[in-house]
Structure 1
Amino acid sequence: MGIKSFADPMDYVLLCLLLSFLEDKTNDEQFLLSHITEYIQINYPVGELDWTVYHNRKSLIRVLNFALNMSFIKIDDGDLDMFSEDYNAEVLYENTGISRYFIRSFSRQITNFSTYDEILNSEWLFGDEDKGIIRRMRVYRSLFLDVAVYGNDISMFEYIKRQRHILQSDIEKYLEGNLHIYKNAAFVTVDDYRYRNAFPEDKNLSDICLLICGTIAEKVQKGELDLKADDTLLIDESCFDGILQICIEKYRELWSKEYRLKSFNLLRQDVLGYMSLNKLIETREDGLLVFPLTLKFKGEYPQDVIMEGREDEQE
């Protein structure tokens, strides 16, 4: 999945160097932007890094904005946007100390891992992942980082149902959110703008996917599509294409210019990629598997907005 605000592999390199830079800073210690650029320039692993190059400065700006959003650092004086125009621009930062908790600790030397699966599963090596504190950690991680936990993970889903009151209490206390448990799915909702990057988010692509979710749900309600016993839905790709075409014909004039002008194939690619990323749909050899959560979402525009969009289209 990666970091959504990052646009280039270089961003991740600069993030690692920034974290290394912050490792030596005490809490509340101040430093200048030029201290960061000098440190990165000295320690950059591939050739020389030239800050007069606009692409390099934009990459660092994305990384520093990410660090600000994560509260690794805060600005005491200056404007980071000035760095995009002038590589000599200065900003006064302050270290919060939070970055130390961002870097993951491993049970053994990372050089001893041969696959990314070994890295992901390394924390469960010394315990049964379906018992005790380890299972609880897995459940909280899945509820908070995934769109939903589905019933096909029997052990985790049974734990959620049994511990629903404890989970709900923690979710209310720390996130001011709610835990929703259905027959074959569980998920967390939070009414807080700080989580605007979680699905459904404030993006036109997210709106389009909500419209598709609503269209699929309508077809199920009308009996045009049949759910399986586990509340999933298997459709062929031509069926999905038809649903996307319905949404295009009904709502395209209300979308941003980027999506109004996209070809069907490119739009389809974006939509399927986004829905797969958010565990709404899974591409399989025998078709597309629609998960239960998909039917819980419905996007629609108010009638006056639809009429206004059609009038603009005619003009």
Structure 2
Amino acid sequence: MVAPAEDPASEVTDEVTTPKQRLRPAREPRPDPAELLPPTESPRSAFRKRYGVAYDTQGPRIRIGVLWAASVALALAFRPLRPYGLATLYAVVAGAAALQVVDAWHAVRSGADRWVAALGASTLPMLATLGVGPLGAGLLAMVAASLVAAAIRQDRQMSLVAAAGHTVLSAGLCGMAAASMVLLADYEIGAVIILAVIVMVYDASDYVVGSGAGNGLEGPIAGGLFIAAVTAVFAVTNAPPFRGPDIWTFAVLAAVTCPAGQILASAMLPSASVRAPALRRLDSWLIVAPAWAGLVGLYLQRAA
């Protein structure tokens, strides 16, 4: 006997209900404090932003560099116009550089006089054509003019001494670098030609390599290597006024002071990224030119 099949529809299922349990919301993980705080800047990048070299790659920079080198060569080529042509060329650049330094700081804190700085920086290389005595008198006159300009300035945001000192600093550093080139040309034309070649080779190699480098060392290192290559040629040919290996001492001095001058130029500005093309044209000369002028003078005295 076969049992009848049960109808599935007739099955009664008991629904099992369970009480709803209270569920606690899942606790979100605590954020990492390093993600909330801004990233700390490494000391190396902070130093480079303040004192590094900002390579301006916009515009015809190579052509401007070639034009500058040609202008210096022409100023040195004609003997009757040599001191005045060289002084005029560097006076224009030094005056523009001092003006740019003062204008850059006016956006932060006003006080220095832009026209006294520009006129003072332009006057120093012209006075250098007359000798060291008039150059020293010009420096003293510039200090006095800076004090007077700061005293009568009503909108300055710094003390009298600070405002005058800023003017003297801007004009003195730029003007003395230019004046040193004029004095060096008066001491020995060979020395100023060698220095001009060394610094221009450094500037060119530093710009080509440094503008595409990821750090601030590759450009100056490339500049130093090219200084060594050029110095080897001068040493082999016994280029006057140096005798044999003596030129290497001055070459090492240039390899150290050229990047030091670039750092000094950045320190003269509120930030290394401030655009100051005239100052950047002169930055490698700020320390090396006065150093060479003084040491070459002593070298020639000892050789006499």
TM-score range relative to shorter protein: under 0.3
TM-score scaled by length of structure 2: 0.27
Bigger relative contact order, structure 1 or 2 (CA pairs below 8 A, ≥6 apart): 2
TM-score scaled by length of structure 1: 0.26
Larger Rg: 2
Between structures 1 and 2, the one with greater helix share: 2
